[in-house]
Structures are given as structure tokens and as C-alpha cells.
């Protein structure tokens, strides 16, 4: 098997660091619980239980997705309408594997349509997307398992209404593809009634675990991303994790164990800091995965998003000399797709900068990452160091599946359900009520009463 990621954890497991340090024996003592967690996950997959379906995604046949992606690829623009897991995963794939200014490239330099995500219900943002597309050369992809997500359906009605006004409802429907539950919800009967194209979100797959399903793979394939390689990387990662039944050799078990044990020692914030612009949205995706999966029942750890080397100049002061309440994960890439050799200078005022002359920028950003990790360790802060051999579809697929697995294991160690999100559901119910949805008037009343309490005290500038 091809190497996907290396995990170095010496700076997160050091008995000499005093208060809050961990020993290797403490980590190894978690092995019986990890074996239980592995059985729990595999049983959930076998029994088709809700929430466990993501475990089977690496082994799916992407044929139906690729067929629809071929249809999508001829359009000038795609607007994907979804929120949370129906948007963050797409951004993450594009950020990691496409040109950073993909939409601005001439058509002949792109492998597919321009791509826009309508997730928030900000009218200015939605009007801005509409300003950027040609309605007659645009496809709409609407993603919602239930078909009742208020933000998604409001945005869909806006864009579908605008397209219908330009070309008529029937022609507009020929440019719509829905991704939804195979059997139930609002969008499944809509697809049946209208005859618009559709794909399924597999049974048992929740939104934040759905990026390796049609939710993320459809748009990726339409823009030339190799989704078979994404799935291959995830499948090999799955085999490596499930095939290693000893704590000392299982990187996912070790990572989950360290997140868990450091959390018990009061390090309730997990800072994820990749040193690559292409992984900035990976951290956005991870933040939802981590927060929604393990933040419940009064438990959980807060994800903190950072990007190296940028946030060395905005956050690292706090990280080195602030409270010892964080576990740091720093991610570096050994081989980058492009490089820059830094030129020298003959200008007298700048000659002191020639220590960088003929050095590679890829070398510099790696030194930045190592320096941050070393500085954190010097100040007694725990650090996990991850290295990807390179960033491509194969390694990204593996990294995605690795962190989905680590998240599920951490939830198990915390004795919580990592596949639901009851706190989110309450906010949805309040929104339904305030927007006048039938059957939610009591929720509207409760929300108004609670918000009135927020407004009891006021001061203005």
C-alpha cells in the first residue's frame, strides 16, 4: 500500500513535561476500548444503522455519480445549494485539488464549469452568485437529505425561481439535479413529480460524513477531480485502520486516544494548523465534523482553525504563552506540486535578506511549520505532527477517512453518540416556527420568549 500520512506524537506524549503530561502506558491502556469501538463501528455498518454508512463509502461504485458528472461538465457554471456538510466538503475538495483561482481561469484552462456554493441565506451573497452566472448555461445542484433544511430550500426556491423567470419552468427543471434521501423527504417526491435528475445520499450517511458520497463527489468529478483516487485513498486507509488491532501500531487509535486523554486533562481545544493554502478548507470541514460529532452531553472539545504560516503572526503568541488548554495538530506536506526559488538582491538596503537567496519556498514553509511546533514544545504545549507525502486525490481521500474514523473513535471514548446533532435540531425548530411553518407555533413562542430575555439589558454607542 502507498503511504498516506505519518503521525508523530512524541511532543504529545512526554512524561518529563510535568503537570498534564501523558505516559505511553496510559495510551496503551486504551487498547481494549479501541477494540470495542472497532467492533461497534463494524456492527453498525453491517446492520445498516443510521450514522454508520460513511464506513462503506470508500468501497462504493462511483459509476452513477460519474455519469451525472459528465452531464454537469458541459455547463458554464454550477450552483450547488446546501449547507454544513452539503457545502463544506465540496469547498475542501476544490481548495485542495483545483487551482486556487479556478473560477477566474479561462474556460480552456479549466476542466469543467465554474463552481459556486450557495449555503448561507445572505441575500447579498446570493445576488452576487446570480450576477456571476449565465442562467441559460447554469445547472443547479440542490443537496438536502430531508429536503426540509430551511436555508437550503429558501436558496433553491430563489435560484430556481430566477432561472424559471428567464427560460420557463420546464427548461429550468432540465438544469436541476437533486441529491437527497433514496426514499423520503421533500426532494425525493419533487424529483418524481418533475422528472428532474437525482442522486441518492446513501442510507446511514449523515451530512458531515457525506463528502465521499454523491454530495461531494459529483461536483468534484464534473471539474476534473479524480474521485476514484479519492475513494482508493479512503479504502486503503480503512484497510490499514481496521487491519491493525494493536494500539501501538494504529495511527487512528493513537490520535483518538491522545485527543481524548488530553481533553480529560483540561485541554478542551484542538488547534488544527496545516501549512498549506490548499488545506485551509480542510480545517473548515474538520471543524464541523469535530464540533457536531463530539460536542454534546456537556462533553466535547472545541476545534480551532488556523493556517500556517499566516497564523504564526496572529495566534501563536497565545498558543505559546497562553493557557495550557489546547492540543495542537500541525500538518506539513513533504513534496509540493510547485516551488519557487527565492532570488537574491543587489540593493544595498535589502542585502541582508540574501540569507534566503536560492532557497526554495517549499523548504521555507516547512521550516516555518517545524519552528512553530518546536516553539510550542519548548513552552510545554502538546503537539501532534502530521506529514502527507504530497497533496493529491489519493492522500486527501485517506486524510478525510482518517479524521472521520478518529472522530467516531473519540466519540466512543467519550461515551456519546457521534452521529447525531440534537443541539442543531433545536435551532432548526425555532427557525421553522419563526418563519411560520405549520406545526411549529409553540417553538416560535418559546424562541421569542427566550430572545426577549436576551434583550432585557441594552446599551448603545
Cell 504530497 appears where?
A: 390
Q: Which run of H or E residues covers position 387? A: strand 383-390
Is residue 276 within 8 Å of residue 338, measured between CB atoms?
A: no
Crossing angle of helices 88-97 and 214-222, rounded to 10°: 40
Q: Which of 133, 135, 153 is nearest to 144 (CA)?
A: 153
Pairing mode, strands 176-180 and 197-200: parallel
Cell 483540561 appears where?
A: 266
Distance separating alpha carbons of residues 305 and 300, to the nearest angstrom? 16
DSSP letter at 145?
S
Q: Which residues are catalytic?
A: 292, 313, 428
Cell 429536503 appears where?
A: 147
Q: How many residues does the chain have?
A: 461
DSSP letter at 219?
H
Is residue 95 within 8 Å of residue 282, measured between CB atoms?
A: yes
User: What residues have CB less than 8 Å from 95, skipping those under 6 apart?
Assistant: 277, 278, 279, 280, 281, 282
Q: Which of 176, 179, 182, 214 is nearest to 196 (CA)?
A: 176
Sign of CA dihedral 81, 143, 229, 92: positive
Secondary structure (DSSP) of 23-57:
-HHHHHTTHHHHHHHHHHHHHHHHTT-TT-GGGGG
Is residue 159 within 8 Å of residue 140, measured between CB atoms?
A: yes
C-alpha cell at 201: 445520499
C-alpha cell at 407: 472522530
Reported in sequence order, the residue ranges of 44-165 that DSSP labels E, i.e. its strands, are 77-81, 114-118, 138-143
The phi and psi torsions of 440 (rounded to 5 degrees) equal -125, 25
Amino acid at each position: 500500500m502507498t503511504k498516506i500520512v505519518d503521525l508523530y506524537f512524541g511532543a504529545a506524549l512526554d512524561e518529563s513535561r510535568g503537570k498534564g503530561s501523558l505516559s505511553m502506558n496510559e495510551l496503551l491502556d486504551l487498547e481494549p476500548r479501541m477494540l470495542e469501538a472497532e467492533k461497534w463501528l463494524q456492527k453498525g455498518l453491517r446492520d445498516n444503522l443510521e450514522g454508520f454508512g460513511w464506513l462503506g463509502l470508500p468501497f462504493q461504485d462511483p459509476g452513477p455519480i460519474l455519469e451525472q458528472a459528465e452531464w454537469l461538465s458541459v455547463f458554464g457554471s454550477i450552483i450547488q445549494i446546501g449547507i454544513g456538510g452539503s457545502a463544506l466538503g465540496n469547498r475542501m475538495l476544490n481548495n485542495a485539488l483545483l487551482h486556487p483561482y479556478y473560477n477566474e481561469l479561462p474556460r480552456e484552462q479549466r476542466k469543467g464549469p465554474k463552481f459556486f456554493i450557495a449555503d448561507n441565506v445572505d441575500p447579498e451573497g446570493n445576488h452576487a452568485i446570480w450576477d456571476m452566472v449565465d442562467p441559460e448555461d447554469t445547472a443547479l445542484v440542490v443537496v438536502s437529505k430531508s429536503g426540509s433544511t430551511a436555508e437550503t430550500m429558501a436558496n433553491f426556491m430563489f435560484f430556481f425561481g430566477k432561472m424559471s423567470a428567464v427560460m420557463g419552468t420546464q427548461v429550468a427543471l432540465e438544469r436541476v439535479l437533486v441529491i437527497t434521501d433514496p426514499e423520503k423527504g421533500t426532494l425525493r417526491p419533487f424529483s418524481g413529480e418533475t422528472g428532474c435528475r437525482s442522486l441518492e445520499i446513501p442510507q446511514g450517511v449523515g451530512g458531515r460524513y457525506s463528502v465521499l458520497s454523491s454530495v461531494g463527489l459529483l461536483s468534484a468529478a464534473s471539474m476534473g477531480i479524480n474521485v476514484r483516487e479519492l475513494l482508493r485513498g479512503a479504502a486503503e486507509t480503512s484497510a490499514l485502520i481496521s487491519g491493525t488491532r494493536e494500539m501501538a501500531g494504529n495511527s487512528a487509535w493513537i490520535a483518538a486516544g491522545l485527543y481524548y486523554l488530553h481533553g480529560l486533562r483540561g485541554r478542551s481545544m484542538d488547534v488544527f494548523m496545516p501549512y498549506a493554502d490548499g488545506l485551509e478548507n480542510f480545517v473548515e470541514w474538520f471543524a464541523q465534523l469535530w464540533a457536531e460529532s463530539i460536542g454534546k452531553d456537556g462533553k466535547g472539545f472545541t476545534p480551532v482553525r488556523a493556517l500556517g504560516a499566516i497564523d504564526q503572526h496572529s495566534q501563536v503568541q497565545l498558543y505559546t504563552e497562553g493557557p495550557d488548554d489546547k492540543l495542537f495538530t500541525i500538518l506539513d506536506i513533504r513534496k509540493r506540486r510547485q516551488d519557487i526559488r527565492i532570488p537574491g538582491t543587489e540593493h544595498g538596503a535589502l542585502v541582508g535578506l540574501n540569507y534566503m537567496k536560492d532557497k526554495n519556498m517549499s523548504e521555507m514553509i516547512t521550516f516555518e511549520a517545524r519552528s512553530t511546533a518546536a516553539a510550542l514544545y519548548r513552552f510545554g504545549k502538546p503537539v501532534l505532527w502530521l506529514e502527507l507525502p504530497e497533496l493529491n486525490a489519493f492522500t486527501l481521500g485517506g486524510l478525510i477517512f482518517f479524521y472521520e474514523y478518529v472522530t467516531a473513535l473519540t466519540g466512543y471514548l467519550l461515551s456519546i453518540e457521534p452521529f447525531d446533532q440534537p443541539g442543531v435540531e433545536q435551532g432548526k425548530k425555532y427557525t421553522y416556527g419563526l418563519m411560520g411553518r405549520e406545526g411549529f407555533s409553540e417553538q416560535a413562542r418559546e424562541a421569542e420568549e427566550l430572545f426577549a430575555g436576551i434583550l432585557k439589558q441594552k446599551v448603545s454607542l
